[in-house]
Copies of this chain bind each other. A is one copy, B any other.
């Protein structure tokens, strides 16, 4: 006890902060990790090339898809935060901005703006998805929203849950404000029942289900509805909107969504599948209807020279430009479909311009130089039902490239 009295306090106070500069990232943290600041970023420089589009529906272009400086951190050991603006698509905005109170792993309270805890593919970081653009299911999935989320996990990540109350996004969109007085409830459970258990080949099996429920009422200027897009990011469906006549379709009543979802990773192999159903009451003039849209996708991938995971392909060793060795090659294929309610036509959407359905097939190759930098090349073909004056909208054939860096 005497020796203790003589010294330790000053030494403890002098324990210097830790500066991390490595493949793991750039960060400053106190010696006890109670205070942490991570300086991160994401950058995606894409090319989109529409093949065989004699009608020039799509425009070939280079585009900055995501440009995101990120501040992640921890204060006082139990409060995490994230600030993530995005300057991609020529449209600056905030993506994530939240505080996470973390009294324990099994219960956290998140407040701010964050991804609605609903769709599996959307919850996977776009940096880790084997495909350059997400599947058609995200047309029915809520993206970022503001509100509160109670979430947590247990048994080393064997189960996860989320309960959220949020403003309520239109399908396939993000919003900054609520358009009506009511909020959406969101619930999601996901389990990896074999994580850390035998048989080991089932460790990467994850299954879950998510649902949202809310009332949404739009106005002529803020309809509470968003257009749907193809893999090539072209609008393929939009609700009728005639500002001159005042005839605008608005969300008007209950909005329900359901999404069973799952993934399976084993060594170099990966599989992700999801089904989404969205049911929304809409109105135009005196006409009302409950429209039921569906979408689903299945994607498989294989990583040469590394391992597949929900957190992205991990090369066994990083690419070395001197020896030209290392890196990993991920190849993936996906089939996905979007099926829109026939009752939407022609009262709520123009059948000559909006499609009734879309079915797409895509193949992707990604060279991961290392965990931080990738080059990807994708080809996606989508066939449409309806959406043209003379029947079906012409199929979309799009070649995509991406240079991606995260730190």
Q: Find A64's partner among B64, B146, B148, B407 (CB 8 Å cutoff).
A: B146
Chain B residues whose CB sits within 8 angstroms of the CB of A145 once the complex forms? 62
Beta-carbon contacts of A116-132 to B below 8 Å, as 1s and 0s? 00000000000000000
- Which residue in chain B gives the minimum CB-CB distance to A74? B407
Is the C-beta of A316 less than 8 angstroms from some C-beta in chain B? no
What's the dominant secondary structure at chain A's contact region? strand
B76 to A23, Cβ gap below 8 A? yes
Is the C-beta of A111 less than 8 angstroms from some C-beta in chain B? yes
Chain B residues whose CB sits within 8 angstroms of the CB of A181 once the complex forms? 50, 56, 59-60
Known: A63-B146, A76-B369, A407-B37. A71 touches B71 (CB 8 A): no
Q: Find A41's partner among B19, B30, B76, B83 (CB 8 Å cutoff).
A: B83
Is the C-beta of A370 less than 8 angstroms from some C-beta in chain B? yes
Known: A60-B178, A62-B167, A97-B87. A19 touches B22 (CB 8 A): no
- Which residue in chain B gives the minimum CB-CB distance to A82? B43
Chain B residues whose CB sits within 8 angstroms of the CB of A321 once the complex forms? 78, 103
Q: Find A405's partner among B99, B177, B180 (CB 8 Å cutoff).
A: B99
B28 to A19, Cβ gap below 8 A? yes
Beta-carbon contacts of A142-153 to B below 8 Å, as 1s and 0s? 000111100000
Is the C-beta of A29 less than 8 angstroms from some C-beta in chain B? yes
Is the C-beta of A304 less than 8 angstroms from some C-beta in chain B? no
A372 to B97, Cβ gap below 8 A? no
B17 to A17, Cβ gap below 8 A? no
Known: A75-B373, A90-B93. A62 touches B19 (CB 8 A): no
Which of A350-396 touch B at CB < 8 Å?
Answer: 369-370, 372-373
Nearest CB of B to A372, in Å: 5
Nearest CB of B to A129, in Å: 19
B99 to A373, Cβ gap below 8 A? yes
Ranked nearest first, the 7 interchain pairs of A and B with the lowest CB-CB distance are A90-B176, A61-B178, A87-B94, A62-B146, A111-B403, A45-B112, A17-B21
Listed A/B pairs (23) with beta-carbon separation below 8 Å: A21-B30, A21-B37, A22-B35, A26-B28, A26-B73, A41-B71, A59-B178, A61-B146, A61-B177, A62-B145, A63-B146, A64-B146, A64-B176, A73-B407, A75-B370, A75-B407, A81-B405, A81-B407, A83-B87, A87-B94, A87-B97, A92-B92, A92-B93
Which A residues fall within an 8 A CB radius of B?
16-23, 26, 28-30, 35-37, 39, 41, 43, 45, 50, 56, 59-64, 67, 69, 71, 73, 75-76, 78-79, 81, 83, 85, 87-90, 92-94, 97-99, 103, 111-113, 145-148, 166-167, 176-183, 318-319, 321, 369-370, 372-373, 403, 405, 407
